[in-house]
Amino acid sequence: MDSYIIESNKKKSRLPARLDFAQSGTGLILGLFMWVHMMLIGSIILGKGSFNFVAKTMELAFLSETGHGFPIAVFFAVLTIFTLFITHALLGVRKFPISWKQHRIMRDQMQMMNHTDTNLWYVQVITGFIMFFAGSVHLYIMMTNPGSIGPYMSADRIVSGNMWPLYLVLLICVELHGTIGLYRLCMKWGWFAGKDAKKSRQALKKFKNRATIFFMTVGILALLVFIVIGINHRDKVGERYGSYVAVEQVEQVEQVQTDTAIAVPAEPQVPVVEGTLESEQAHEPEIVQEVEVTHE
């Protein structure tokens, strides 16, 4: 009895609640970033120029006098996302089953309950585990090569660098994990609950499914466009989109100059009078002879 009173009088730790709140906060930021990031990547569907504009804007090219931008800005942006990514992963691991026995117990309970949201949480566990490795590789490459984002360089990395299988797996995992995570956050914290909780849940599920289909479609189309560009650009690996445009502009200017030179008639040549030429040649030996005499 005394031990029960002592235990009940102990102050409960708020650390688990704070860690849970931090996990929700980092997940919310990463989930919204994933949606924005996918829309920016999807600009390649509109053309190489559109994606190059997005890449240069991320490099703050509008603040550069030369227009080349500052790749260091991309480095710090990726570093921030990488830090949030690792923090969110470490906070999420504490809820994962850490042994095969715990995993079997959880699977048995899931089969017994057959609860949709519990099954969605399990999908998050699987996709999160895969993302921890695939996402880390992608973020590390972007952080160490911040100036390699562009229509050609990104396509070369996907095709010539044989990164397309990694990006395909990462695309599927990110879309499922992020969209499910945002849905579960709304359920957990009561966002958009409304007066009827059941109808709100159904509406959020429909929105989640449509968002998953939309972003998955955009991501797959963007990946296919990059693959096509990378295949056509295999013989010029490492070439930047800006330099290619510059070469085209120089070639156009040279072609215009050539056409202009052909169109303008050549100036008439002045005829040379034979007598004048002979006279000049006749005086040259005399001048040489006078110089020799002077030296003597």
CATH class of the domain whose range is 17-242: mainly alpha
pLDDT tens profile 187-222: 988 888 878 888 888 999 999 999 999 999 999 999
Mean pLDDT for the chain overall: 83
Residue 282 confidence (pLDDT) above 50: no
Provide, rounded to the nearest whole percent, the portion of the chain with pLDDT above 90: 56
pLDDT band at 253 (very low <50, low <70, confident <90, very high): low
The pLDDT value given to residue 270: 53
The pLDDT value given to residue 9: 56
Dist CA 86 CA 92 (whole Å): 10
The pLDDT value given to residue 110: 85
Dist CA 187 CA 191 (whole Å): 7
The pLDDT value given to residue 277: 43
pTM of the predicted model as reported, rounded to 2 decimal places: 0.76
The pLDDT value given to residue 58: 92
pLDDT tens profile 38-68: 999 999 999 999 999 999 999 998 888 877 8
The pLDDT value given to residue 172: 96
Residue 6 confidence (pLDDT) above 60: no
pLDDT band at 10 (very low <50, low <70, confident <90, very high): low
Residue 271 confidence (pLDDT) above 80: no
pLDDT tens profile 177-190: 999 999 999 998 88
pLDDT tens profile 96-130: 888 888 888 888 888 888 888 888 999 999 999 99
